[in-house]
Every structure is written in C-alpha cells, then in structure tokens.
A = this chain, B = another copy of it.
C-alpha cells in the first residue's frame, strides 16, 4: 500500500466566448495557495466516486455548479514536487461547453479566462491547461469535438469559425465544406432556417449517434 499519496482530479473546462478560447478558474478556499485562482479540482472520494470520471463530474459540479456533456480524461500529472503537501497524482480531465451554460453563475463561483492570457497558476496547472489546449487542437483536426462548443443548432459558417478559433488558423471555405461530408457528423435540421442580415442560412446539428460516440472512456 502507499498511504501517503494524494490523489486528486483537476478539470480544464473550455468554452468559446467572443470567439476566444477560454477556461474556467475558481478561487481556492484553502491552503495551499488559498484565495488564488486555479483549475477546479479536489480529492477523489473512494466511498462515493465510481471512478475518476465520476469524481471529475462531482468536483466540477460542486466547485462551479456546471455539468459538461463532454468530459474526458486528459493525462495524469504526478510527482513529489508539484504539490507542497507531498507526492501527488492529479488525474486531469478536460470538458467542453457552449457559452450559454456558463451564464447560470449567479453566485459568481468561477471566472472565465482566455487560455492565451492566464494569470500565474498554482501547482502545475499552467502545464495542465497547455496540455489540454494541445489535446483539443490535435483532436479537433479530425473529429466533431468542436461541436460541443456550439449551441445545439448552428450554421456552417459558425461551425467553420469555431474550428478556426480552436485550430488557430483560417480555413478555406470551399475546402472546409468539401471535407464536411467526409467527417459525416453534422446533419441539416429539416425546416430550420435562420434569417440573417444576408440570405437565410440552413441550421445544422451534431448527429445524435455521433454525439454519443464521443463519450469515449477507456477503450
């Protein structure tokens, strides 16, 4: 047995706000680093948590009031120097939500900060965010992951802008639209049209079967 180990979960919750990629930070209540902004995190409760994913869901909900439909394990950060209390393992997770989910924060439990303009973070939380941003970018290039940052119904222009923000690069419109059928995860919603300043735009949604497929836990 190894009774002196600290085992926690930390969560990088992403959203797009003002077309900038942002993450949720909470102010720590207790030492170490009391009152500092940090990733939402907490101890695993062996009595309550079915597994680390359930612990991450519980900690995210209790620290921020938020529930994310997409939540996935990122990487486990470990060692004797990352936490002043002793040898620790943080099973880090990342999550994606549409901005509208965040407006429910009447109690001001969290702050939303651009990932490119983070304050100095305690522990190795800066490395955890950097790892999560890299994973999000790598995985977005070949998956429907960015759809989770969009509202339930969206135009193809909004979809393209979301990919551009996450990948950090402009995409050619004709190439983007040619690739969409290959990816095969969005579908037009019958009779759903948004009237805009210009011509009406067809609305799309993530296919329900593909939405489920993204909950890829272990294997």
Contacts and interface: CB of A to CB of B under 8 A. Distances in A.
Contact of A73 (B43, B52, B76, B87): B76
Interface residues of A, number: 35
A142 to B, nearest CB: 10
Given A6-B2, A76-B91, A219 B46 contact: no
A15 to B, nearest CB: 21
Interface string A120-133: 00001001101100
B131 A219 contact: yes
Nearest to A79: B51
Nearest to A127: B219
Nearest to A52: B78
* Number of copies of chain A assembled together: 2
Given A51-B78, A76-B73, A46 B89 contact: no
Interface in A1-44: 1-7, 43-44
B5 A46 contact: yes
A84 B131 CA distance: 33
A92 to B, nearest CB: 9
The winner among A3, A46, A52, A86 for most chain B CB atoms within 10 A is A46
Contacts of A87: 44, 46, 49
